[in-house]
Amino acid sequence: MAGTQDFLTGITGDVQLALVVGNTIVPVIKGAVKEVKALLGDQTIDYQVVITTGAAELDGVVSEATTTLQQINEERKAAGLDPLPIPGS
């Protein structure tokens, strides 16, 4: 993809993959995955690591979004509004 470049950066001892989109850094994969740390030398990443870490990130998205919806539903309940459905629940 034109204008997009993969990044590695150390954040408080962890390694994080990020993308440069225009002038913005978009975090992609984070965590203290030892295989990812090896990237600092090789600049390669194994398919299975990408899939495993990416799937964990997606699980995190669902978990975080569910918590946010629960928080929003508390506010809606206090205002006498119906709760928003949580997909998959």
Partner 1 sequence: MRERYTRLRPVLAALVLLTLAFGIGCHHVTVTGTPPGVSAQAVANWYQAAGALKTIQDTVSGATNSAVSLKADFPSASGYQATLLALGKLSQTDIEAANYLKTVPQNWNQPIQTQLNGYFTQMSKTLQDATSNGITGVKNPQKQAEVNALIGTLTQAIQFGLTLTGGQ
Applying CB under 8 A, the residues found at the interface with partner 1 are 1, 4-11, 16-22, 24-29, 39-40, 43-48, 50-51, 53-55, 57-62, 64-69, 71-73, 75-76, 79, 81, 84-88
CB of 19 to partner 1, least distance (A): 6
Residue 23's nearest CA partner among 7, 40, 46, 43 is 7
Structure tokens at 46: 């194994």
* Rounded-to-integer distance, Cα 30 and Cα 14, Å: 7
The radius of gyration of the chain's CA atoms, rounded to the nearest angstrom, is 18
CB of 56 to partner 1, least distance (A): 9
Alpha carbon separation from 60 to 5, 27, 89 (Å, rounded)? 24, 14, 16
At 58, is the secondary structure helix, strand, or coil?
helix
Q: Return the number of the residue (9 or 32) whose C-beta is nearest partner 1.
A: 9
CB of 34 to partner 1, least distance (A): 16
CB of 43 to partner 1, least distance (A): 5
Q: Return the number of the residue (32 or 54) whose C-beta is nearest partner 1.
A: 54
